[in-house]
């Protein structure tokens, strides 16, 4: 599947290089790179960054038992600790959009990843909930631009009709990061501890930062930049758009649910409700992550293909949302608690909401694209923080069993509340769109 996607990208790149006067692929010093070269020097480095981002995001689902036993955390602490990543991630989105539009994805991504490396190093040294939370927040700040820089790069180098496919490929790379944070991470923990793993991740982060800086070419930009004040004022163009407010709530609820559950609470649910041991939990999370990766790429390809026949991204997203919510209901009601299939469906459609981000970018001029995607992300990762923490808070309201597990009623209440939020935002999404 990945090789097929790369072949398609080669064709895409070549189509964008008909002549030397093609402004979209100019280079300041040399002829624009073409074909697989463009894929290797633009798509692959940013994809590695998003792989890393999702790996960091998902680790707590596996290392949660060690954090609970070593640091003495409860469900509320664990939810807050994990959510700190998303809080700093969210708070930095608006400045991130301005920086991406002003300085480009290469420099911004490189700079931020060094913060992630520092956060990973400090996380490995932390001995308290405060230290862990601060370090986790620093990691979130450092990877805040991984996907957004990737999407910004796609708007700079590729034609808009290919954005769903390209963005789906970036999301698939993130899914592979989620894969690495499951069974492979569990296996690694049999040879070392979580602190050593985070030290290694800090080193890998530095390597990827240097790779992006050294390999990705600088895109030639206009010599006349708007002032910082103008860039900030232009955010009003985005936030006054009716289509933005139609889509943003459901995008936020869907992606927030995905990241909160896949990144943390799927693991405890499988241990407490399905009654699986650590190895089985890791394998289930592995299959969930594979489904996430495959689904991210597949939904992008299918949505792009359907658009040729007049089937819009928003319609595809609406259908995907119905399937996404349905599998959550099956999980929450424990209809088939030991079955992997509801989790597979969860993963396949978990990232479908990102397709609508490609839809929204088409409503604005390209020099606003960074601020559009980060403008959405403010709400997305703000919702992840709230959902992540809310689930942990609700679960902690129920008494823990003697074996350290939480009862079925706790997960029913927590997951049910999240489903209700998604249902309300879905109704808002399908209401007639009254444009001004």
| Percent of the chain residues past pLDDT 90, beyond the cut | 35
Assess if residue 41 is contained within a domain.
yes
Query: Residue 44: which residues within 8 A CB-CB, separation 6 or more?
Result: none
pLDDT at 225: 59
Q: How far apart are CA 177 and CA 50, in angstroms?
A: 8
Q: How far apart are CA 373 and CA 354, in angstroms?
A: 10
Structural contact between residues 142 and 205, judged by C-beta atoms closer than 8 angstroms: yes
Q: Which of 78-87, 142-151, 243-252 has the lowest mean pLDDT?
A: 78-87
If one compares 372 and 161, the residue with the highest pLDDT of the two is: 372
238-242, 263-267, 355-359, 418-422 — most confident range: 418-422
Range of the domain at 96: 32-216+225-430
Q: How far apart are CA 115 and CA 136, in angstroms?
A: 11
Q: How far apart are CA 257 and CA 263, in angstroms?
A: 10
The distance from CA 152 to its chain's CA centroid, rounded to whole angstroms, is 15
- Assigned token pair, 183: 């069974």
Assess if residue 130 is contained within a domain.
yes
Q: Among residues 128, 120, 33, which one has the least CA distance to residue 85? A: 120
Q: Is the pLDDT of residue 20 over 60?
A: no
Number of structural domains in the chain = 1
Q: How far apart are CA 157 and CA 43, in angstroms?
A: 10
Mean of pLDDT over the chain: 82
pTM passes above 0.85: no
Structural contact between residues 197 and 380, judged by C-beta atoms closer than 8 angstroms: no
HEC profile of the chain: CHHHHHHHHHHHHHHCCCCCCCHHHCCCCCCCCCHHHHHHHHHHHHHHHHHHHHHHHHCHHHHHHHHHHHHCCCHHHHHHHHHHHHHHHHHCHHHHHHHHHHHCHHHHHHHHHHHHHHHHHHHHHCCCHHHHHHHHHHHHHHCCCHHHHHHHHHHHHCCHHHHHHHHHHHHHHHHHHHHHCCHHHHHHHCCCCHHHHHHHHHHHHHHHHHHHHHHCCCCCCCCCCCCHHHHHHCHHHHHCCHHHHHHHHHHHHHHHHHHHHHHHHHHHHHHHCCCCCHHHHHHHHHHHHHHHHHHHHHHHHHHHHHHCCCCCHHHHHHHHHHHHHHHHHHHHCCCCCCCCHHHHHHHHHCCCCHHHHHHHHCCCCHHHHHHHHHHHHHHHHHHHHHHHHHHHHHHHCCCCCCCCCCCHHHHHHHHHHHHHHHHHHHHHHHCCCCCC
Q: How far apart are CA 359 and CA 143, in angstroms?
A: 24
Please report, for the domain that includes residue 162, its CATH number: 1.20.1250.20
- Assigned token pair, 261: 């559950």
Q: Is the pLDDT of residue 10 over 50?
A: no
Structural contact between residues 161 and 29, judged by C-beta atoms closer than 8 angstroms: no
Give me the sign of the Cα torsion angle 200, 202, 203, 205: positive
Digit-coded pLDDT (tens) for 220-246 = 655 555 666 776 777 778 888 888 898
- Assigned token pair, 233: 């004022």
Structural contact between residues 179 and 290, judged by C-beta atoms closer than 8 angstroms: yes
Q: How far apart are CA 103 and CA 105, in angstroms?
A: 7
Q: How far apart are CA 49 and CA 145, in angstroms?
A: 9
- Assigned token pair, 262: 């896949």
Assess if residue 11 is contained within a domain.
no
Assess if residue 18 is contained within a domain.
no
Digit-coded pLDDT (tens) for 331-356 = 999 999 899 999 999 999 988 887 77
Q: How far apart are CA 178 and CA 182, in angstroms?
A: 7
Assess if residue 19 is contained within a domain.
no
Q: How far apart are CA 301 and CA 167, in angstroms?
A: 10
Assess if residue 10 is contained within a domain.
no
pLDDT at 120: 96
pLDDT at 433: 58
Assess if residue 435 is contained within a domain.
no
- Assigned token pair, 353: 């909401």
Structural contact between residues 417 and 326, judged by C-beta atoms closer than 8 angstroms: no
> 266-277 burial string, b = 16+ CB within 10 Å, else e?
bbbbbbbbbebe
Digit-coded pLDDT (tens) for 269-322 = 999 999 998 889 888 988 998 898 888 778 878 888 888 888 888 888 899 999
Q: How far apart are CA 295 and CA 302, in angstroms?
A: 10
Assess if residue 305 is contained within a domain.
yes
Cα separation of the two ends of the chain: 42
In angstroms, the Cα distances linking 375 to 102, 231, 284, 306, 317 are 15, 13, 34, 27, 19
């Amino acid at each position: 599947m990945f090789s097929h996607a790369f072949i398609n990208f080669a064709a895409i790149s070549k189509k964008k290089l008909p002549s030397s006067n093609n402004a979209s692929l100019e280079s300041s010093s040399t002829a624009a790179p073409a074909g697989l070269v463009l894929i290797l020097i633009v798509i692959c480095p940013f994809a590695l960054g998003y792989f890393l981002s999702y790996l960091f995001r998902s680790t707590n689902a596996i290392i949660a038992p060690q954090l609970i036993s070593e640091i003495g955390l409860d469900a509320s602490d664990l939810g807050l600790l994990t959510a700190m990543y998303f809080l700093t991630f969210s708070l930095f989105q608006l400045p991130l959009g301005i920086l991406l539009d002003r300085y480009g994805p290469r420099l911004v991504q490189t700079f931020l990843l060094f913060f992630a490396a520092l956060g990973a190093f400090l996380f490995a040294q932390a001995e308290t909930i405060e230290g862990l939370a601060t370090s986790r927040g620093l990691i979130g700040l450092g990877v805040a631009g991984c996907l957004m820089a990737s999407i910004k790069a796609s708007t700079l180098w590729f034609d808009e009709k290919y954005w769903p496919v390209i963005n789906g490929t970036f999301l698939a790379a993130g899914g592979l990061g989620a894969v690495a944070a499951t069974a492979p991470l569990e296996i690694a923990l049999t040879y070392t501890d979580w602190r050593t793993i985070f030290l290694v991740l800090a080193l890998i982060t530095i390597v990827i930062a240097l790779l992006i800086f050294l390999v990705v070419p600088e895109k030639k930009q206009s010599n006349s930049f708007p002032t910082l004040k103008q860039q900030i004022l232009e955010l009003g163009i985005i936030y006054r758009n009716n289509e933005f407010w139609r889509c943003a709530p459901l995008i936020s609820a869907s992606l927030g649910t995905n990241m909160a559950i896949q990144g943390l609470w799927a693991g405890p649910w499988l241990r407490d409700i399905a009654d699986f041991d650590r190895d089985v939990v890791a394998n289930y999370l592995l299959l969930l992550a594979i489904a996430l990766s495959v689904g991210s790429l597949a939904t992008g390809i299918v949505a792009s293909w359907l658009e040729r026949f007049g089937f819009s991204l928003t319609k595809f997203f609406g259908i995907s949302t119905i399937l996404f919510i349905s599998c959550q209901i099956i999980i929450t009601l424990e209809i088939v608690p030991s079955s992997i299939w509801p989790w597979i469906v969860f993963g396949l459609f978990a990232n479908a909401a990102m397709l609508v981000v490609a839809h929204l970018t088409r409503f604005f001029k390209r020099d606003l694209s960074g601020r559009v995607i980060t403008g959405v992300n403010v709400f997305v990762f703000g919702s992840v923080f709230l959902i992540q923490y809310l689930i942990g808070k609700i679960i902690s309201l129920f008494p823990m069993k003697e074996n350290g597990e939480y009862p079925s009623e706790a997960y029913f209440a927590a997951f049910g509340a999240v489903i209700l939020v998604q249902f309300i935002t879905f109704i808002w999404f399908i209401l007639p769109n009254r444009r001004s």
